[in-house]
């Protein structure tokens, strides 16, 4: 038995920058494994690869790989013929050249995000975006009888809060794309690529309670819209599932006629269709 992880980094947006992982060499027989990703000193299980059942070999995709840094992967064999066996760690670097904003559970929603007004086919950050991160901790000050110095009882300091991810869109279709994402993804994943990083981690899970859309020139026939997104960095969602990525061929095979397609998808939103083109 010679177990190995083979990694292929993909920087393209089809549907988003990712790492394709092939597991080979396990002894034939049912096994349960974890695939771990380590980046910036933080080790996390790859989504869909926690307590994953397999037999001998397997293939999966990590759609949440941080960009522009060395990322390592290792395999933990929980049960099966090779349980307890250590496997060599493999490394990879992925960089799409742009930031990425997406629903972490739905890779097909990923949108490229520019750091400046370089390409109007993607949202771009305002000059004031990501200029500060607030690291809060609960503090209780307890006076001590007979001492001028009180005691401070402090809780765990939190990840960056009160973070502004303000951005512009300057094409109608890009505005619609971002609006659809914000309306249907309560938690966003932002993946900077090292350009104008401004303190954000490689995987910035971002919760914004009240995004604000401000059409600036739309009323006058223009297309410029400002988006105000202020929120906090939070833990990654723990669900070990992903909405599957559909291909054009798989979708066309679902229906014989256009009328059948229209009937099945009546009342569905754009992101509903991305998640399930069959309408189920």
Please write the tens of the pLDDT for every residue from 183-224.
989 899 999 998 887 789 999 999 999 999 999 998 888 999
145-182: per-residue pLDDT in tens? Answer: 999 999 999 999 999 999 999 999 999 999 999 999 99
Q: Is the per-residue pLDDT at 267 higher than 70? A: no
Query: Is the link from the previous residue into 15 a cis peptide, with omega within 30 of 0?
Result: yes
Q: Which two tokens stand for residue 21?
A: 């992982």
Q: What is the pTM of this model?
A: 0.83
Q: Quote the pLDDT of residue 271.
A: 55
To which H or E segment does residue 59 belong?
strand 58-62
The number of residues making up the chain comes to: 280
pLDDT tier at 12 (50, 70, 90 boundaries)? very high
Q: Domains in the chain and their CATH numbers?
A: 4-92 (2.60.40.10), 99-233 (2.40.30), 246-280 (no CATH)
3-state percent breakdown (helix, strand, coil) of the chain, nearest 5: 10, 35, 50
Cβ–Cβ under 8 Å, residues 187 and 204: no
Q: Which of 13-17, 109-113, 241-245, 250-254 has the lowest mean pLDDT?
A: 250-254
Contacts of 67 (CB under 8 A, 6+ apart): 17, 94, 95, 96, 99, 100, 191, 192, 193, 194, 202
Q: Is the per-residue pLDDT at 35 higher than 90? A: yes
Q: Quote the pLDDT of residue 246.
A: 53
pLDDT tier at 261 (50, 70, 90 boundaries)? low
């Amino acid at each position: 038995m010679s177990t190995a992880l083979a990694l292929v980094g993909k920087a393209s947006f089809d549907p988003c920058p990712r790492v394709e992982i092939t597991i080979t060499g396990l002894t034939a027989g049912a096994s349960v494994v974890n695939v771990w990703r380590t980046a910036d000193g933080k080790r996390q299980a790859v989504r869909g690869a926690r307590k994953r059942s397999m037999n001998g070999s397997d293939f999966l995709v990590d759609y949440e790989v941080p960009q522009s840094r060395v990322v390592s992967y290792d395999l933990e064999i929980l049960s099966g013929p090779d349980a307890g066996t250590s496997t060599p760690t493999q490394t990879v670097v992925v960089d799409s050249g742009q930031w990425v904003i997406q629903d972490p559970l739905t890779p097909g929603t990923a949108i490229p995000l520019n750091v400046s007004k370089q390409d109007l086919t993607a949202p771009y950050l305002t000059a004031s975006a990501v200029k500060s991160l607030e690291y809060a901790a609960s503090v209780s000050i307890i006076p001590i009888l007979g001492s001028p110095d009180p005691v401070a009882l402090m809780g765990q300091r939190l990840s960056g809060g009160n973070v502004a991810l303000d951005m512009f869109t300057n094409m109608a279709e890009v505005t619609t794309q971002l609006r659809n994402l914000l309306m249907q993804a309560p938690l966003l994943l932002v993946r900077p690529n090292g350009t104008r990083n401004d303190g954000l981690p490689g995987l910035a899970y971002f919760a914004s309670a009240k995004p604000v859309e401000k059409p600036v020139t739309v009323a006058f026939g223009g297309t410029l819209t400002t988006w105000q997104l202020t929120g906090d960095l939070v833990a990654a969602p723990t669900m070990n599932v992903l909405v599957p990525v559909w291909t054009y061929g798989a979708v066309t095979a679902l229906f014989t006629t256009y009328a059948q397609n229209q009937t099945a998808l009546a009342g569905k939103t754009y992101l509903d269709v991305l998640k399930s083109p069959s309408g189920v």
